[in-house]
Amino acid sequence: MIAQFFSIGLIALLGAMLPGPDFAIVTKNSLLYSRMSGYFTSFGVGAAILVHMSYCVLGLALVISSSLLLFSLIKYIGASYLIYLGLNSLFSKQSKKLFSANKKAKKTEISHFVSFRQGFLCNLLNPKATLFFLSLFTVVIKPETPFHWEIIYAMEIFFIATAWFCSLTIILSHSYIKRTLEKAEKYIARFLGLFLIGFGVALAFVRH
């Protein structure tokens, strides 16, 4: 079980580090708004992962993956939401501003709840996340694994993913990083917007 614990931890860390919608939304909110916005976005992603973990432990992930209707519904809602976030990043007023030293002005741009919601829905509505965790629970975690160990693995994945995105937030919101990227903010916002739109479009064409 200990070897499996570390194997799952490594897989979870590598999965979180791969560039994807979660990476893009945490980066966007950390760079364009504030460190707290990045934190709450990261907590939202972590909360969605807990939801994925819950239905994987209960065996519902297999039902979702085997149902064309449910899979397609999640897929198209998720794709639409990513495209919406991307368009919002492309055309929002915030994306046209340079980094400001006035932190108070930034805090009024996006609430903690909105940051959390964006991270939560971005991960929750991604059927690729469902398939990732399903494969983890069917390939790595064996059917004979005790229930309490499944809970431990679920919490391990949650903490690793949340810690990674919070660490990413700390790095991206550092004053030196922001000063370095100051002149490129509007281009970064547009790039991340296109990145999210691209993921949304690609997600819409994912086959069951």
Phi-psi region of 59 (alpha: psi -120 to 50; beta: other; left: phi over 0): left
Q: What is the structure's pLDDT at 151? A: 87
Distance CA 12, CA 88 (A): 29
Please determine, for residue 94, whether its predicted confidence score (pLDDT) is greater than 60.
no
- When comparing pLDDT for 67 and 95, which is higher? 67
Q: How many CB atoms lie within 10 A of CB 132?
A: 19
The more confident residue out of 182 and 110 is 110
pTM of the model: 0.76
The confidence score (pLDDT) of residue 11 equals 84
Give Cβ neighbours of residue 95 (< 8 Å, ≥ 6 apart): 32, 89, 185, 186, 189, 190, 193
- The more confident residue out of 12 and 141 is 12
| Angstrom distance (rounded) from CA 129 to CA 198 | 17
Percent of the chain with pLDDT over 90: 25
State the pLDDT confidence band at 182, using cuts at 50, 70 and 90.
Answer: low
Domain boundaries, the chain: 2-16+45-204
The Cα–Cα gap between 149 and 98 comes to 48
